[in-house]
A and B are shown apart, each in its own frame.
Chain A
């Protein structure tokens, strides 16, 4: 069962050098409050496992990352993640690059305690060249087909963000897509769940099939209003702010100003700063 924790307690339980899985997809329902807390922590040398978006970018920018395991890193409406690009192009990080289906098979293997799962995805592509540790496996049946054996993706901890959770750590999603968050929760030794809104146990009303994450897989749960900001929580992302993030990331001075304004304090300070920024934009637009 998940204990109700603070963002600081969750990040305080992580250690440098860990492999951290991050749920969501691209710039969609990312546990950004937890990511921002890692950004201001002393953690380093992390391996991130993610369908990557600004979570990966932000932590690369802060020098927290040793390796990224991902099929892509994107902001969706902004195709390329500027911090991830910069980190790759400067050689600051190592990269394990998988096809996105391979990546899911790795999560499925990890979640089900299998050493690997076979798939055709990857065959013939340079994914095999840039991951020399990847092995193939031959079907033991008549077809004798050779397939990629995707190794289990396992993690020391997973961070996922859902719309609703109860105080035990059961989580519900309200948007159209669960992404792979339940698999991250199952494949990791520990899972920390942040949510937009927390309710008492037994009050997670709604269709049962939207109960995505179970308390049996959750170590800690935290309420983080706007904790997914600026990524898409199902009703659209804060596109204006994402553009501001991407534009700021494009040059060191702009990024220093962004960090100073939005990332130097806690979540309350972040929300306040974002509110003020939006008010300024509206004022400038009049």
Chain B
């Protein structure tokens, strides 16, 4: 059975944590949370994951399931300290993101009197300046991928470079995973670079949904397919109710 787009996305999110070892995989959004737990169940067993709340679970648990046996306690105050401590790679959402990975979850329009008040900056400033950070964007569009964000909540590569090697020494933007593609910031000026297009997605489609020009180096490979075991884990263990399909429709 072939993988759905949502399952491609779960695996692409999981890949963001490859090689991270024994750190907290902090995730926001369904496919991102599933990806963290899938990575832990397969190629990155040292990862720590939560029940979606204050508990570090002894084993990765199905989406929305109770924690079961617990191996650690991470109430918000400890989570905020862990951001400072650094043993954490967070995958956040973004309402706007620009070419250098500056992101906005705070407000759209003029901050003083916004057209649309969103969440507020939450932990985005601290996350990006203290921890490896990736993004999961379930609806890739030119409304999200903009030339300039209205309020910089998460710090991008250009602003980190301006801060200098002292203040920004822990700044480390890793991946942007969307329902269409995967990017990193590997261009020489820290700009967003198209790493792969999901199966069935044309590069033109990605560019049309991106309000700036990402860097493209040669032929764009296809995002990898889930293995049979990964599909089994997603479908039968982590997300038997298919909540992933509510976030990404095939």
Contacts and interface: CB of A to CB of B under 8 A. Distances in A.
Interface of A: 25, 51-52, 70-74, 79-80, 84-85, 88-89, 91, 97-102, 104, 119-127, 129-130, 143-147, 176-180
B18 interface: no
Given A101-B80, A120-B130, A125-B155, A89 B116 contact: yes
Contacts of A144: 166
B125 A127 contact: yes
Interface string B51-77: 001110000000000000000010111
Query: Binding site of A, secondary structure by majority: helix, strand, loop or mixed?
Result: loop
Interface of B: 53-55, 73, 75-77, 80, 83-84, 106-107, 111-126, 128-130, 151-155, 159-160, 162-163, 166-168, 170-171
Nearest to B171: A124
B120 A70 contact: yes
A74 B123 CA distance: 13
In the A-B complex, list the 9 residue pairs whose CB atoms are closest, starting with the nearest.
Answer: A121-B126, A72-B120, A125-B125, A88-B117, A124-B155, A177-B75, A101-B126, A99-B125, A126-B152
Contact of B117 (A85, A121, A124): A85
9 contacts: A71-B120, A73-B119, A73-B120, A88-B117, A123-B125, A125-B124, A144-B166, A145-B167, A147-B167
A102 B125 contact: yes
B125 to A, nearest CB: 4
Given A119-B84, A126-B111, A176-B75, A80 B129 contact: no
A99 B117 contact: no
The residue among B120, B121, B122, B162 with the most chain A CB atoms within 10 A of its own CB is: B120
Contacts of B115: 89
A179 B77 contact: yes
A69 B114 CA distance: 17
B4 to A, nearest CB: 25
A153 B113 CA distance: 24
Contacts of A100: 76, 80, 122-123, 126
B116 A124 contact: no
Contacts of A121: 83-84, 123, 125-126, 129-130
Nearest to B163: A124
Given A97-B106, A102-B126, A176-B55, 19 more contacts: A71-B121, A79-B119, A80-B119, A91-B112, A99-B121, A101-B83, A101-B84, A120-B129, A120-B167, A121-B126, A122-B126, A123-B168, A124-B159, A124-B160, A124-B162, A126-B106, A127-B121, A130-B151, A179-B77
B129 A176 contact: no
A131 B79 CA distance: 25
Contacts of B107: 88
A129 B75 CA distance: 30
Contacts of A177: 53-54, 75-76
A130 B126 contact: no
A258 B46 CA distance: 49
Nearest to B166: A145
Contacts of B117: 80, 84-85, 88-89
Contacts of B154: 125
Contacts of B118: 80
Contact of A99 (B111, B123, B162, B166): B123
A76 B39 CA distance: 26
A173 B167 CA distance: 38
A126 B162 contact: no
B84 A120 contact: yes
The residue among A72, A101, A127 with the most chain B CB atoms within 10 A of its own CB is: A101
B162 A25 contact: no
Contacts of B112: 91
